[in-house]
Amino acid sequence: MLSTADALATLLGAAGAVLGKETLPTLEALNRVLAVDVVSPLDVPPMHTSAMDGYAVRIADLTQGERRLPVSQRIPAGHAPQPLAAGTAARIFTGATVPPGADAIVMQEQTEAAGDAVTILHMPKAGEWITAQGADIRSGAVILPAGTRLTPQALGLAASVGCAELSVVRRVKVAVFFTGDELTMPGEPLKPGAIYNSNRFTLRGLLEKLGCEVSDYGIVADRLDATRATLREAAHGHDLILTCGGVSVGEEDHVKPAVEAEGRLSMWQIAMKPGKPLAFGAVRRGAVGDVSDVGAGAADTSTPNTPAETFFIGLPGNPVSTFVTFLLFVRPFLLRLAGVRTVTPRALSLRADFTQSKGDRRNEFLRARVNPAGGLDLFPNQSSAVLTSTVWGDGLIDNPPNHVISAGETVRFIPFSELLN
């Protein structure tokens, strides 16, 4: 069996950023991935500014013993000041431009104002309460490198240097479908032997949260011809085809032979629990005349006369297995297709407030949540069919093979907030 590290390395080694980019207004670029570096055209702040409400002064005037100064001007934020006349102070407000000639700000709590004059009660140091020009950003600096996924604060940073538009990688296009005559959609009568198709809702939500453009082909009949036809249709115009279930070798499992007939497939047994089986491969697109349609297709060396391929990943069918394998393998794969450079979720070292007396020969990913004391509680039923655990929990404990967890020891915990980002 493959280790989780080896399986992930193989997936990421095959993934390359999709072709194509677009320009969006900065206000509409949330969660998109930068296609090019954002370089600042200016210093931020673009001038020396006051960090306090107070008075701009010349220290030289104060060192001569004069602490009562006439107020020569008033400077609100957004107004251009006059040079500060020697022997005077300027009333200034937070964020306002420091007048030429001033070398310190005395905050208003350390002054006494009376009429058109102010008494300075504090001897400031040079530069006190002045935010220097370029203290945050220097002109010409790369403030957001290509491959950055744009958070709200990243949009604010881009806006702070005047970027009204951003060049971003196009959305990754994913086709998803589900096989199994037992699957029923919520709202429909549940026949004997049938189950509701929870995986469709989970996967759609996960894909959309990652910003993918999703084509949902719904539930495909458990027939080889129907599965092959759906694969052929889904291969065109998509970067990835994603399914769950149906990749075993049973008589009713048609995904495996269908993918092998329409492309190529590797069946992996991964040393993990839950989620042991995973399928990875590609489906032929046929002759491609428009290279822009190829995207990041597997073996991205296509020419107009050479068939291109669309990646294929088949997930296990149990709902928790589907969820966990998506987070650990499909998520980083999709992020890499989108051009994101760093795809590894950050893990925390937290205390286990439980005992697990028996380890497993596979790498376990245990659903747990943080308790009020800052430790971790374990969901009592770790079955791959218990979807309740994914809502109850805050994340996954990454437990090495054959490791018994004792109460009080430190374990590696990957929060869902990282895995769902």
Question: Taking a C-beta distance cutoff of 8 angstroms, is the pair 357, 373 a contact?
Answer: no
Rg from Cα positions in the chain: 30
Q: Give me the amino acid identity at 356.
A: Q
Euclidean distance between CA atoms 54 and 94, whole angstroms: 8
CATH of 49-131, one of 3.40.50.1000, 2.60.40.10, 3.30.1180.10, 2.170.190.11: 2.170.190.11
Please report the pLDDT score of residue 248 as a whole number.
58
For helices 224-235 and 255-262, give the axis angle rounded to 10 degrees. Answer: 50
- Give the mean pLDDT per block of 10 residues along the chain (421 residues): 94 92 97 96 97 97 88 97 97 98 97 96 96 97 96 97 97 93 87 90 96 94 92 95 76 81 93 93 71 43 53 94 97 96 95 94 97 98 95 98 97 97 86
Find the helix or strand (DSSP H, E) in which 60 lies. Answer: helix 59-63
Task: Report the distance separating Cα 304 and Cα 159, nearest Å.
Answer: 41
Compute the distance between CA of residue 366 and CA of residue 410 in angstroms, rounded to an integer: 14
CA geometry: angle 105, 109, 113, nearest 5 deg: 85
Q: Return the SS3 of 261.
A: helix
CA distances 264 to 170, 189, 311, Å, are: 26, 37, 10
pLDDT recorded at residue 249: 53
pLDDT at 291: 35
Nearest one of 173, 56, 70, 65 to 107, comparing CA atoms:
56
CATH topology of domain 4-18+170-337: Molybdenum Cofactor Biosythetic Enzyme; Chain A (3.40.980)
- Residue keyed to tokens 């196009």: 170
User: Hey, is 104 helix, strand or coil?
Assistant: strand
Residue showing tokens 């020697």: 86
Helix (H, G, I), strand (E, B) or coil at 331: helix
In this structure, the dihedral spanned by the alpha carbons of residues 265, 266, 271 and 275, taken in order and rounded to 10 degrees, is 0
Helix (H) or strand (E) segment spanning residue 225: helix 224-235
Helical residues (DSSP H) of 70-218, grouped into ranges: 152-160, 198-209
Query: Is 22-44+146-169 CATH 1.10.490.10?
Result: no
Specify the CATH number of the domain 348-419. 2.40.340.10
Half-sphere exposure of 293 (CA within 13 A, CB side): 15
- Spatial separation of the C-alpha atoms in residues 112 and 114, rounded to whole Å: 7
Cβ proximity of 262 and 231 under 8 Å: yes
Encoded tokens for 103 = 């070398």
**For residue 107, what are the β-bridge partners?**
54
Q: Which of 169, 211, 199, 171 is nearest to 421 (CA)?
A: 211
- Sign of the alpha-carbon dihedral angle for 98, 100, 105, 108: negative
Characterise 80 by phi-psi region: left (phi > 0), alpha (psi -120 to 50), beta (else). Answer: beta
| CA–CA separation, 193 and 250 (whole Å) | 18
Residue spans per domain, the chain: 4-18+170-337, 22-44+146-169, 49-131, 348-419
Separation of CA 315 from chain center = 22
First to last CA, the chain: 29
pLDDT at 181: 76
* Residue 126 tokens, joined: 């040079």
Contact 205, 280 (CB under 8 A): no
Q: Which residues are CB-neighbours of 72 under 8 A, at least 6 positions away?
A: 82, 84, 85, 88, 89, 90
Contact 197, 185 (CB under 8 A): yes
Pairing outcome for strands 130-131 and 49-50: antiparallel
